Every structure is written in C-alpha cells, then in structure tokens.
Amino acid sequence: MGKKHIIEPNQEDLIKEGEKVDSAVKKDVKVKASDKVVEARVYVSSSYNNTIITLTNAKGDVLASKSAGAVGFKGTKKSTSFAASRVAETIANVCKKIGVEKLSVYIKGIGAGRESAIRTLVNQGLNVIAIKDITPIPHNGVKPRKIRRV
C-alpha cells in the first residue's frame, strides 16, 4: 500500500462555495406586494436524499417552493441538516417579504433536515403556531403471498 493522499480544502475554496450558496439563497422570489398573507402553511418534505420546503397560503395555493438542490447543494450534501437549514432560511426570507404573521408547519418524511428546518424557521423570528407530523404510516402493509402448494 502506498501513501494515502488526503486533500484538504483551502480557505479560498471554502469561501467560494459559501458565496455560491449565499447567492443562491438571496435570489428573489417574485411575489406581488399587494399579496399580503397573514396566515400561511409550510410543508417540509425531508427524505434521505433531499429536503423540499413549500410555502402555501391558508387555501393551499403555493406561494414559494425551495429545495436543497435549488439553494446550491449537490450530491450527498443535499441530505444534510445544514442544507435543510439554508432552505428554511430562504423560505423565512420569503415569509418576511410577504408579511406572514402566523405559520403552521407540516413535516413529512424521515430525513436529517426535519429538526433543523423547524429550528431555523423559529430562529428567523417567525411565529410558529402549530407543528404537525404528516408522515404516512402503513397500517397493515401489503397482502401476504399465496401459500405454496406442493
């Protein structure tokens, strides 16, 4: 066996990657100023591969939707809790632009971004009034196979 070469990222590379993620976060979402929404819902869908956060009004009309891939993460980094917090940060900025006062959060899935997305929404100064888990749970499973006859 030869020597193992470990590549350590430079400070410049880390800064460039951080700037790329920040620029993706700061992209404007086109929302009319007349569309003041007082109460909204946030749906957090967290899987093993990605975290998708959708902002809707009380009726269910989608106002904004972001994913970890849209914010600038690629590959396995999309499934991290840091990526989920960045996605939640972008949605929180959209909420502030629209003027959302009350927020209900609905969580679906079993990924790493569940907790960090909620924490980020609360830390951004949004008033979260309800958190509900809507992860689908199988009640009885699939029908078993036929018994083998010999």
What pLDDT shows up at residue 30? 52
Q: What CATH number matches the domain at 35-133, 3.30.420.80, 3.40.50.720, 3.40.50.300, 3.10.180.10?
A: 3.30.420.80
126 is written with which tokens? 């949004």
Its pTM stands at 0.75
Whether residue 25 contacts residue 71, with contact meaning beta carbons closer than 8 Å, is answered with yes
Residue 54's H or E segment, with its range, is: strand 51-57
Boundaries of every domain in the chain: 35-133
pLDDT in tens, 17-52: 667 666 655 554 555 555 678 899 999 999 999 999
Mean pLDDT by 10 residues, the chain (150 residues): 68 70 55 71 95 94 94 93 95 92 94 93 94 92 90
Residue 105: CB atoms within 10 A of its CB come to 21
